[in-house]
Amino acid sequence: MGPAGPVGLRTDAMRMRGYCADALKDAAAAARHYTWALQLATESGDKTREAQVRLGLGASLFKAGEAGTAKAHLEAALALGRAVGDEAAVAAASGNLGKVLMAGGESAAAGERFREAFALREKHKDARGCAVQSINVGSAAALEEKVAPPLCAPRYPSQLPAPPTLRRLLRSLLPEP
């Protein structure tokens, strides 16, 4: 992030207040704090902080049911993260954008975002992030009726058959009419 002068500290404080309000499920307060933080970050020209604020705001808006606005903020966070070389922001924005895309029925595009997030999480040895994104990749593939290639080295014999897609699994459990 940029220097933590008075504006940087105020931006961080407002972003954290947005995060806390979101955790308390107060969407209106979260939006207010994130919007204030976004104004401070954009006025100061701090692209790294702007990416972080847009990431939080996008995730909060998506939880509040505002997918269209959330998508715009997450796409902007992704672009800013790439522009400043903040791979953590890129990974987080890609993962969250994937969730928005998947909810909108764009499972192929979501899968691409999840794979990008996984690659960055793996590069930085983030085991928890890898696990989450691996599940997301599998979910996106299941919605497309494809079996996702394994992202991690399997810890079981390779002779096991690939798991069926969710749709095939459900069909196998339900009796034929």
- Provide the residue-wise pLDDT of the chain in tens; the chain has 177 residues: 555 678 999 999 999 999 999 999 999 999 999 999 999 999 999 999 999 999 999 999 999 999 999 999 999 999 999 999 999 999 999 999 999 999 999 989 999 999 999 999 999 888 888 888 888 888 888 877 665 555 554 444 444 455 555 555 555 656 555
C-beta atoms surrounding 165 within 10 Å: 18
Express each pLDDT in 64-112 by its tens digit. Answer: 999 999 999 999 999 999 999 999 999 999 999 999 999 999 989 999 9
CA–CA separation, 107 vs 123, rounded Å? 24
Give the CATH number, domain containing residue 115. 1.25.40.10
Residue 156 located in a structural domain: no
**How many domains, in total, are found in the chain?**
1
Count of other CB atoms within 10 angstroms of residue 159: 5
pTM: 0.78
148: left (phi over 0), alpha (psi -120 to 50) or beta: beta
12 is in which domain, residue-wise? 6-151+161-173
